[in-house]
Structure 1
Amino acid sequence: MPRRTPRNALDRLRTPQRSLGFLKTASVCVLIAGLLSPLSQAAAAPEAPAADAAAVTDHCGNQCSDILPPGQNGNATLAQILLHQAFGTQPAHAEDQLGPYASLATGYPTLTDATINTFFNDASFGIPADQVASTVKPAGRSDVTIVRDKKTGVPHITGTTRYGTEFGAGYAAAEDRLWLMDVFRHVGRGQLTSFAGGAASNQGLEQEFWRNAPYTEADLQAQIDNAVASNGERGRQALADVNAYVDGINAYIDASDSGRYFPGEYVLTGHKDSVTNAGTIAHFKPTDLVALASVIGALFGSGGGGEVGNALSLLAAQSKYGVTEGTKVWESFRERNDPEAVLTVHDGSFPYGRKPADPQGEALPDAGSVTREELVFDRTGSAASPGATGASADAAANAVTSAKRGMSNALVVSGEHTASGHPVAVFGPQTGYFAPQLLMLQEIQGPGISARGASFAGLSFYVELGRGQDYAWSATTSGQDIIDTYAVELCQDDYHYLYRGTCTPMQKVEQKNAWKPTVADGTAAGSYTMRVWRTKYGPVTHRATVDGKKVAYTTLRSSFLHEADSIIGFQMLNDPDHVKGPESFQNAVQHINYTFNWFYADSEHTAYYNSGDNPVRANGVDAEFPAWAQPAYEWRNWNPDTNTASYTPPSQHPNSIDQDYYISWNNKQAEGYAAAPWGNGSVHRGNLLDDRVKKLVDTGGVTRASLVKAMAEAGLADLRAEDVLPKLLKVINSSPVTDPAAAAAVGELSAWVSAGSRRTETSAGSHTYAHADAIRILDAWWPLLVKAEFEPGLGSDLYSAFTANLPVDESPSAAHGPTGAHAGSAYQYGWWSYVDKDIRSVLGEQVQGPLARTYCGDGSLGACRDTLISTLKEAAGRTAAQVYPGDDACSAGDQWCADSVVHRALGGIGHRGISWQNRPTYQQVVEFTSHR
């Protein structure tokens, strides 16, 4: 795949002419040779005797598998980075899971239970004696052993004491992800540019996350103290675990520093000297883990928000149609509780977030008065971001935030419908694709801990998604609303506000960053200050007037100041004495305050639970819009000093045990659960799973292989082509198509639909799609037809406002969607439900929860057909180079490459692009054969 300029400031570490351009080839070779000496000495250290396999019973019966590309090893010395740059070599275990992961896209049709581990790892506990690659007693401790296997290099940590076990987990995490952990503790503190250089994407990362969690050091420590104090013995144990884990990290830092095998990025960013070894790698402390957790929580576990944007689109609708009709139109596009939406829970109603009958306390802005709160001040230097905040914000949106909101998916089938009589699950999180990966694999066995699976780097004191002795669990992002916007009335000046009748000063929180030119990013020196004003109701995000009064809009998140609280739930999930069945599993995840859908399977039962601290809102408050910051409209029993409130009880969260099957792909959870992102309507990517799993269940005899096939096929399907295109073609074919260009395009699209509507290669490694012309035509047509279908009726202002709430398209190659280009995740956000409902209305078909009006051709079949044909002809005439214009990874016109998954570099080692698959990054395939 052609390579162009780096995608990310940290990506520059991969490019020799940028990172070490002042070195000639000969001097690079000399430097490599000089650096190999300490590396070889470290490799030659004597190994301890092989540890015995964990002394626990594994109830999976060799039927648990997992995969996490690109590979377990996310650290590379400077020598290894230079060798990679010069010759393309990879450190051991840096990408050995990438090939099996990628090959499923073409290998799944012939998959059998016996060949699953061709595409996945064996996820059994322990390591066979003949597969042990290394055995280490970290820091010479006698109470913990880290054993790594030959195939993947995954650490298997076995401790005889709790402290030793967690010390080993920290040591192993640093062995595999020290640089990445360091990057993200600085991201969480808003200090990435000072640490890694002032390139635009670095600025964007720290701005993106610090804006939402502008914590002081005192805030970080207070979160630890509160989590410990409010959870009794489990809280005290969690603190002890964290301290031991941090001790393990720091022991590795000291060992790698003295042995000179620390990650080479520290040299490339100026923190260490490659010749004298001068410089330091700062030790970790517990508050660093809270900063890390705030980043992960912002990425995946904070649903809701967007009330200001909602208000702006509502005002646009009311301006277009009048208040009554405009509100009706807005509600139809919002699809709060669409009756045609695919559900995870099939039975029961779980009311939350529904529109109140008599809304109270709304604080809608005056037209044209809203401005976004400025974040960056006092900018100097740095040619990296001439567009200041805008440029870096765009970079952030297309970097780590490519993972945001895309955490998925899950397929779980009850034993009643499987061939073995035991439940089968295929599930995992879609956390984006990075080099190194945000997640890391491990097995932990010790007092009170027995689990294998994936954890976010720097938070791996517990397995966060994985399996225990006789059960497995996983999560998808749920997105229900735990964030509200309040309008605080200003008084005295722009930095005082009325709090319960008293004029109160806002708290100014600042983070100053300054950076020097580094080898890594090639930018000039510079600095800036990030500034956030905090109120009792959360950080200020916008300013406006409401009925002529000056206000600041603030964002109040229930997990704000509570990033550490979820530690108790994860501790329980790892505790075999706690999780013994579906009920105790649900009890564990009830302690997780982030917004996730949790799934469970053992040999007898399946279960589901939707977690998150869902605040109980005051009667009449509509969570879709800003509310006045007044006691009458606050969360029930809200304490502003601790940001605690009354939360909906577990019974009101969508939950289920032993349903016939569960699917989740960030879709609607249950009937009545209306607090979801835009776009949960009649067509959602969850349908791709639900249709296939339901068919398997109806037939019966489900196996691990058949469920993996269903997942893989859905992960290659074009949602628009499978669920919407047949209806568009029905309109077009309502009369003979006489135009030759349109007829040819219809023929290509129809043949693709008949073949299954998938984006698949002609053969493994061909880098060419079957039905390439049809795919090109639809990629070009979709944005054209949506605009032509809806903008005339909505008007330009309202159309623009709605597209700000929900992007029109998120195809695999769509660089403009919420996930950016090359991110794997696709079809989560788009107007496919709107098009589906509108076209069915034009066809005279039954539509539950229709749009308030019919837009295509103003409801006329003939006029709608003309619109579709004219836009189809325009799309068909666009060349591949126009549809796929090329970027820093691909040449213009390269369709396969435009879709391809690229691991975005966060360090000095890069990896090849792989064929597109819309599937979890980390994934398990499990079927337990027995139970304790």
Structure 2
Amino acid sequence: MPRRTPHDALDEVRTPRRMNGFLKTASVCVLIAGLLSPFSQAVAVDAAPKAAAGDYCGGQCSDILPPGENGNATLAQILLNQGFGTQPSHAEDQLGPYANLAKGYPALTDDKINTFFNDASFGVPAGQVASTEKPAGRGDVTIVRDKKSGVPHITGTTRYGTEFGAGYAAAEDRLWLMDVFRHVGRGQLTSFAGGAPANQGLEQQFYRNAPYTEADLQAQIDSAVAKAGDRGRQTLDDVNAYLAGINAYIDAADPGRYFPGEYVLTGHKDAITNSGTIDHFKVTDLVALASVVGSLFGSGGGGEVNNALSLLAAQAKYGVQEGTKVWESFRERNDPEAVLTLHDGQSFPYAAKPASPKGQALPDAGSVTAEPLVYDRTGGAATGAAKSATGTAQKSTLSSARRGMSNALVVSGAHTASGHPVAVFGPQTGYFAPQLLLLQEIQGPGISARGASFAGLSMYVELGRGQDYSWSATTSGQDIIDTYAVELCQDDHHYLFHGVCTAMDQVQQANSWKPTVADGTAAGSYTMRVWRTKYGPVQYRATVGGKKVAYTTLRSSYLHEADSIIGFQMLNDPDFVKGPADFQKAAQHINFTFNWFYADSQHTAYYNSGDNPVRASGVDAEFPVWAQPAYEWQGWDAAANTATYTPASAHPNSIDQDYYISWNNKQAEDYAAAPWGEGSVHRGNLLEDRVKKLVAAGGVTRSALTKAMADAALADLRAEDVLPKLLKVIDSSAVTDPAAAAAVAKLRTWVAAGAQRTETSAGSKTYANADAIRILDAWWPLLVKAEFQPGMGDDLYNAVGANLPIDEAPSAGHGPTGSHAGSAFQYGWWSYVDKDIRSVLGESVQGPLARAYCGNGDLNACRDSLIGTLKQAAALTAAQVYPGDDQCSAGDQWCADSIVQRALGGIKHGKISWQNRPTFQQVVEYTSHR
């Protein structure tokens, strides 16, 4: 095959090309102009400006955020990337160090940490300054970028100038992504970026859950500012300065032709004449962005209709009394064997099962249908059609299967070598190109922080460090969402509100797009429509006791995504956060459902945030309830969607526990508002077991805690915590079939070697114990089905599977996070298998399943079932277990697991070996305090 040359790329500029689902055309002259045009207006200098605040970390703060800081690329850079794989400066320079930790961590020492992380000290050493600029010629702010990663270090002499610089730097690094997500938040992505099925699915997902009008978005800002007094007014000033910075960059980049090339490739700019515009950003755009972030990562709970369907299936199988008992055992809403973040015996009761539930509105069997979202469709794929939900409810709603992937490991100074706390923590926001987060340092009046922020919301650092403290978050998932059954009256679009027949509010968004022949998408259009009630948007229709109802979803953060900005402002304020109690006070102003962690040189702390509504007495948060005053949230104001919330003291919180771990696991005893699957085996156990051993031994260091995280990141949860019990049932002496015996031997060897999914050597793209991994990947779904389906029956088995998928191995494309997503083992039947197998073995089980399932409780029959399915799994080829997809050929095990930076723009990156860890991550140990 002839080797491609730059001349080939120039010829192809005129040819329609595929880029993230868009059709592109351009011209040679524009490509040349793009190659010659500067990507930024930075001018190299010899020294960085002096940081505005002190740094008390002593060079022991580090961070990482793949693939790279630079998420903008000109048209020329995009075409060169797609044609030859070349990367714009700083587009993927953090991807290699991040990936290399998977093989490099066993030899890690403290002095090697920054081989795999960035130095997160404040400021830039004189020899590391790559560029400096005065955005828009302002004299009150300077942006310095470092040579290693190109991170912007923004130093302002005025508050306005500081925030202006933050906006300008954000636009330099993420303008296209910010534009994409302000349209996602409004349900307008297809009109903006094309009608590819992925774009349709994304905008539909968010519009269904946050169908806001422009007035709704503005009202959020007005409300948040009004409630917060002086801080609210300062926030609005900060936001306006930040927006001015973004728009100043747009004004400079547009005539200069160094705006992101995706604007040309999607038809917003003409490649030859440079006609067309990039719309300025406005304050409501930031609220639209915040609604996307909140829906993805900070809205726990929901799924009450699915819960009702699985309960009805259990009752149909076993009868009402026994079926309810069986359902509760699978729900594990307050499992005594669950790993806890707060393990000192603290109790924080919330959303417990009431003794006598009141107001339940369970649907009549077979009556549930999902509310259609899309109508008036012309052309395109029918991705939004309504479907029956008699067995399971549609997964597009806010359900209990939340995206939960972040982790935290924090050890108090009493157990470290230095006597100072050590933390390794970060959020897992998914792997994208460009990344949803960006890195920055902001120094100015009332602001002193470095870390990560969501693109377009980076007026403050949202996860990172201050002068003498660091903080981070994991998704907590506690229940702030309830489903109400509103009784219909007059017709399908009127409902009873406090006894009055009231019209539903209809909101809709019409979208149309041009043809994209390159990926087979025709021109098309559709309108999305949502019916809103005072109890939230309609998600389903059903009958309850023969009465027609609409099921609505109400969350406490609905119409209030902007409120959390005050908490982030406080976290960035060095005059506010001076210790762990101040940190907790700041986190209390964040209404998203997160676990917050803190470390300084003396203390550690934890706080669980979110507006937890106080429910009416007798209401069970697990199921739909009637939309009547007796069952509403206490103190609920329907017009403002505000209510009485549980006080801060009732939220799980702690200062200076010996250690904290979190991997989206249960927070504390009696905090029952948790997602499905928080039982005896959870991903959090991988951290708990390792950190507990470190603390028991004492002398914990940054490198030791990082090793613990990295070791857990390569572990197969099923193999480490469940497989030994399965093999105990099988008992190798009872295996007479040669094929099954060989499979058992391979699995035992893998478990003895550490049960990890790791390469034989760095870059080999081949797993050690590859055959054992293949066998378990094939065996798990087979053994779960054989273990549970005969006893549960098809309907109950499938209904519980809709609440909690049976498997989320790294190669599984069917799990909530999808294939090539990195995060794995958050959702699965690990605990069910563990409890059932231990019961069959006659071992002690706290909170057991209501019935024994494997072999109907008979050890010999269970053994036969396991051996039979193991033999079946061992016979499957690699091509059958890993069937291939658009990224990998069939049978490529390493590739099936690999992490892909999913393209949200024109730049693509190579795959990296699987590891289960946060996207943005900090390693910190402060040496002193103010």
Q: Structures share a fold, TM > 0.5? A: yes
AA partner of residue 848 (structure 1)? Q
- Asked whether the equivalents of residues 51 and 145 of structure 1 are also in contact (C-alpha less than 8 Å), the reply is no
- Asked whether the equivalents of residues 486 and 553 of structure 1 are also in contact (C-alpha less than 8 Å), the reply is yes
1:221 is aligned, of 208, 218, 221, to: 218
- Asked whether the equivalents of residues 23 and 266 of structure 2 are also in contact (C-alpha less than 8 Å), the reply is no
Q: Distance in 1 between matches of 2:40 and 2:423?
A: 40
Match of 1:469 in 2: 467
Q: How does 1:822-861 map to 2 (within 5 A)?
A: 822-861=820-859
Q: Distance in 2 between matches of 1:891 and 1:86?
A: 21
Q: Distance in 1 between matches of 2:797 and 2:182?
A: 40
- Asked whether the equivalents of residues 270 and 518 of structure 1 are also in contact (C-alpha less than 8 Å), the reply is no
Tell me by how many angstroms 1:88 deviates. 1.2
C-alpha distance 73-44 of structure 1, shift in aligned 2 (>3 A): closer
Q: Which runs of 5+ in 1 are unaligned?
A: 1-11
C-alpha distance 22-617 of structure 1, shift in aligned 2 (>3 A): closer
User: For 1:684-718, what per-residue CA distance to the aligned partner results, in whole angstroms no more than 9, with x for missing partners?
Assistant: 00000000000000000000000000000000000
2:32 paired with 1:33: yes
Match of 2:250 in 1: 253
Match of 1:458 in 2: 456
Match of 1:917 in 2: 915
Match of 1:439 in 2: 437
Q: Distance in 2 between matches of 1:79 and 1:114?
A: 40
Match of 1:422 in 2: 420
AA partner of residue 567 (structure 1)? I
Match of 2:501 in 1: 503
- Asked whether the equivalents of residues 64 and 922 of structure 2 are also in contact (C-alpha less than 8 Å), the reply is yes
1:781 is aligned, of 779, 789, 799, to: 779
Q: Distance in 2 between matches of 1:799 and 1:128?
A: 60
Match of 2:8 in 1: none
- Give secondary structure in 1 for the equivalent of 2:181: helix
2:411 paired with 1:413: yes
Q: Distance in 2 between matches of 1:736 and 1:812?
A: 31
Provide the TM-score with structure 1 as the length reference: 0.96
Q: Distance in 2 between matches of 1:20 and 1:813?
A: 22
Q: Distance in 2 between matches of 1:18 and 1:225?
A: 42
Q: Distance in 1 between matches of 2:30 and 2:295?
A: 41
Match of 1:3 in 2: none
Match of 2:624 in 1: 626
Q: Distance in 2 between matches of 1:812 and 1:21?
A: 26
- Asked whether the equivalents of residues 20 and 519 of structure 1 are also in contact (C-alpha less than 8 Å), the reply is no
Q: Distance in 1 between matches of 2:711 and 2:48?
A: 41
C-alpha distance 606-401 of structure 1, shift in aligned 2 (>3 A): same
4+ long deviations beyond 6 Å: 20-25, 400-403
Q: Distance in 1 between matches of 2:424 and 2:41?
A: 41
- Give secondary structure in 2 for the equivalent of 1:211: helix
Match of 1:790 in 2: 788
Identical counterparts, % of pairs: 80
Match of 1:123 in 2: 120
User: For 1:437-484, what per-residue CA distance to the aligned partner results, in whole angstroms no more than 9, with x for missing partners?
Assistant: 000000000000000000000000000000000000000000000000
AA partner of residue 837 (structure 2)? I
Q: Distance in 2 between matches of 1:630 and 1:698?
A: 53
Tell me by how many angstroms 1:36 deviates. 2.2
- Asked whether the equivalents of residues 300 and 407 of structure 1 are also in contact (C-alpha less than 8 Å), the reply is no
Q: Distance in 2 between matches of 1:56 and 1:91?
A: 32
C-alpha distance 495-825 of structure 1, shift in aligned 2 (>3 A): same
2:322 is aligned, of 321, 325, 335, to: 325
- Asked whether the equivalents of residues 401 and 803 of structure 2 are also in contact (C-alpha less than 8 Å), the reply is no
- Asked whether the equivalents of residues 478 and 597 of structure 1 are also in contact (C-alpha less than 8 Å), the reply is yes
Tell me by how many angstroms 1:19 deviates. 4.6
Match of 1:706 in 2: 704
1:546 is aligned, of 544, 558, 572, to: 544
1:89 is aligned, of 82, 86, 91, to: 86
C-alpha distance 23-193 of structure 1, shift in aligned 2 (>3 A): closer
C-alpha distance 554-401 of structure 1, shift in aligned 2 (>3 A): closer
Q: Distance in 2 between matches of 1:133 and 1:581?
A: 35
Tell me by how many angstroms 1:258 deviates. 1.4
Provide the TM-score with structure 2 as the length reference: 0.96
- Asked whether the equivalents of residues 403 and 431 of structure 1 are also in contact (C-alpha less than 8 Å), the reply is no
2:59 paired with 1:62: yes
AA partner of residue 736 (structure 2)? T
Tell me by how many angstroms 1:676 deviates. 0.4
Match of 1:9 in 2: none
Tell me by how many angstroms 1:346 deviates. 1.1
Match of 1:482 in 2: 480
Tell me by how many angstroms 1:52 deviates. 1.4
- Give secondary structure in 2 for the equivalent of 1:803: helix
AA partner of residue 312 (structure 2)? L
2:886 is aligned, of 888, 904, 907, to: 888
Tell me by how many angstroms 1:737 deviates. 1.1
AA partner of residue 643 (structure 1)? N
Q: How does 1:583-598 map to 2 (within 5 A)?
A: 583-598=581-596
Match of 1:192 in 2: 189
- Give secondary structure in 2 for the equivalent of 1:587: helix
Q: How does 1:194-343 map to 2 (within 5 A)?
A: 194-343=191-340
User: For 1:45-90, what per-residue CA distance to the aligned partner results, in whole angstroms no more than 9, with x for missing partners?
Assistant: 7557744130321100000000000000000000111111222110
- Asked whether the equivalents of residues 182 and 285 of structure 2 are also in contact (C-alpha less than 8 Å), the reply is yes
Tell me by how many angstroms 1:389 deviates. 4.2
Q: Distance in 1 between matches of 2:929 and 2:481?
A: 40
User: For 1:551-606, what per-residue CA distance to the aligned partner results, in whole angstroms no more than 9, with x for missing partners?
Assistant: 00000000000010000000000000000000000000000000000000000000
Q: Distance in 2 between matches of 1:57 and 1:23?
A: 50
- Give secondary structure in 2 for the equivalent of 1:147: strand
User: For 1:605-640, what per-residue CA distance to the aligned partner results, in whole angstroms no more than 9, with x for missing partners?
Assistant: 000000000000000000000000000000001000
CA RMSD of aligned residues (A): 2.2
Q: Distance in 2 between matches of 1:20 and 1:273?
A: 19
48-57 or 67-76: bigger deviation = 48-57
- Give secondary structure in 1 for the equivalent of 2:492: coil
- Give secondary structure in 2 for the equivalent of 1:857: helix
Q: Distance in 2 between matches of 1:627 and 1:325?
A: 22
Q: Distance in 2 between matches of 1:437 and 1:379?
A: 32
AA partner of residue 880 (structure 1)? A
Match of 1:569 in 2: 567
- Asked whether the equivalents of residues 375 and 529 of structure 2 are also in contact (C-alpha less than 8 Å), the reply is yes
- Give secondary structure in 1 for the equivalent of 2:617: coil
- Asked whether the equivalents of residues 539 and 552 of structure 2 are also in contact (C-alpha less than 8 Å), the reply is yes
- Give secondary structure in 2 for the equivalent of 1:717: coil
Tell me by how many angstroms 1:523 deviates. 2.2
Work out the number of aligned pairs and report it. Answer: 911
C-alpha distance 307-165 of structure 1, shift in aligned 2 (>3 A): same
- Asked whether the equivalents of residues 19 and 519 of structure 1 are also in contact (C-alpha less than 8 Å), the reply is no
Match of 2:555 in 1: 557
- Give secondary structure in 2 for the equivalent of 1:593: coil
Q: Distance in 1 between matches of 2:652 and 2:232?
A: 27
AA partner of residue 918 (structure 2)? P
Q: Which runs of 5+ in 2 are unaligned?
A: 1-11
- Asked whether the equivalents of residues 82 and 908 of structure 2 are also in contact (C-alpha less than 8 Å), the reply is no
